Amino acid sequence: MTNAVRIGNASGFYGDRLTAVHEMLEGGHLDYLTGDYLAELTMLILGRDRLKDPSRGYAKTFLRQMETSLGLAVDKGVKIVVNAGGLNPHGLAVALRELSEKLSVDAQIAFVNGDDLQPRAAELGLGTPITANAYLGGFGIKSALDRGADVVVTGRVTDASLTVGAAASAFGWGYKDLDAIAGAIVAGHIIECGTQATGGNYSFFKEIPMGRLGFPIAEVAADGSSVITKHEGTGGAVTVGTVTAQLLYEIQGPRYYNPDATALLDTIEVTQEGPDRVGVSGIRGEAPPSELKVSLNHLAGIRNQIDVVLTGLDIEDKAALFQEQFEAALPTSPAELTWELSRLDRPDADTEEQASALLRCVARDTDPNAVGRAFSATAVELALASYPGFTLTAPPGNGAPYGVFVPGYVDAGVVEHRVTQPDGVSVLIEPSPMRTEPTRDVSVPDSGPIGDWGPTRRAPIGEIVGARSGDKGGSANIGVWVRSDDEFAWLDQTLTVDRIKELLPEIAALTVHRYRLPKIRALNFVIEGVLGRGVAENVRFDPQAKGLGEWLRSRVVDVPERFGR
């Protein structure tokens, strides 16, 4: 690709590989290096940090990474763009300036803020959350880079905005360049989760040279098309499959709303252009929505949990006995008390662990006394007075605060998207004049009658179908894809809303939306409310729905013999 900029990404979450920034800078040529440190749960964690100390609230690991990499980035002319500022981008910018002076590195630091709406939450109709952050676009980043910033730190921008800002600065895009911006949004979405684009969390992982995976790079062209790749010699692989999997991660319908444009995911074309080089093109863009999404986190109360082990015979009777005894002995009944029996046991097992099941009790209440020391003591006191073989997986604690995430929406015009340039000048970024009421995607429950696919065999659907799942607040998505047009025709007819509810009985009573992305041979299912009020509430065994897609892949269906693997 000619006339393209190379935008790498070295972080997919707060806690990703600490050495990745240095590895990406040393591994080959880059023009920009991004890092995504924020998630819904991360904002809650940073919010609790800020409650303890107002000077905190940013990703401290990024500052540690810059201790060894800031000078290298400046020497190589690589511009760094990260959302590690979290709830305190100004504080992180000050710390970076102090670090650059300490290292004698002439680095120009800028920061983007204005996303923090918590002080204005009540007047904006957002309640009284501990964090309230609007998802900003990429044009504040563009402004900072245009003015010569070497490092741009932001608060809560959309994950893809890191790439959008870099590409918009490189090519001089304006708000009217909707197709180009949409292309950069897609490229940013592909690389935002780091090594998930190079083989991490990939259904067909046995086809990938796993190990120490390399981080992804998007070579973005002036028209917004891109090639996804990685540094030569790094682990993993970049294939149509790994890119498709990441495209399906945490999305909803074909329209992917962002503050600067709406990317139409059903227009994407993905092609293998060479080893570890996947072309992404054809993306069309529409006007962005008139409102910005707001990440709202509320402290909801105190949560406590006990896990008891049930071994051998009469598992369900033992579970019922303990539940009855425990609830009767509790001095105070918590507001919420949920039980979950996980039958991990098997008959006539060769090991004690294989003969055991787990019974989990989770309590939630706004009163710490209802779920604290007395709750834990009640479980311990039953140790010699309940079912045979009683044991706990760990001593119970005194409970801990938990929060819940809910999305909010405000008109983009009420948010002061602001960038403070390296020279200290603060500039207000006007929202896109293109914004409009968005077109809402319509769920398609099925694709008509099933055709004749010839002889079939009983097999896990995952033999031919890949999946990627994740959380979106209290909902979850499962994106599924196949590798040929014939397979997609079968998948499209077979995997209806009713069928996925049959295969995953836990979601049978929930609302499920089904969306088609035929150009990448994929379907996306959005399951409302399966995660309660979000990951922090921790209502499921898998609170972020990371394994939901793999559970689906393990379910046995009638697979046409012509699709043998």
Q: What is the pLDDT of residues 272-315, one digit of tens each?
A: 999 999 999 999 999 999 999 999 998 889 999 999 999 999 99
**The pairing of beta strand 269-274 with beta strand 277-281:** antiparallel
Task: Convert 193-223 to b/e letters by CB count within 10 Å (16 or more is b).
Answer: bbbbbbbbbbbbeeebeeeebbbbbbbbbbe
Residue 530: pLDDT over 60: yes
Domain residue ranges of the chain, discontinuous segments joined by + = 4-295+407-428, 301-404, 456-563
In sequence order, what DSSP letters do the residues of 27-82 get, joined into one string? Answer: HS--SEEEE----HHHHHHHHHHHHH-TT--S-HHHHHHHHHHHHHHHHHT-EEEE
Tokens of 123: 């007047």
Question: What is the phi/psi pair of residue 496, to 5°?
Answer: -90, 175
Tokens of 85: 């500022």
Burial class (CB in 10 A: 0-12, 13-18, 19+), 333: exposed
* pTM of the predicted protein model: 0.94
- Predicted local confidence at residue 551, as pLDDT: 96
Beta partners for 219? Answer: 6, 227
Residues 6+ apart with CB under 8 A from 20: 10, 11, 194, 215
Mean pLDDT of 536-543: 70
Domain with residues 301-404, CATH architecture: 2-Layer Sandwich (3.30)
- Predicted local confidence at residue 472, as pLDDT: 84
160 or 532, greater pLDDT: 160
- Predicted local confidence at residue 473, as pLDDT: 82
Give start and end residues of each alpha helix (H) in 495-526: 497-503
Map tokens 């311990």 to a residue: 380
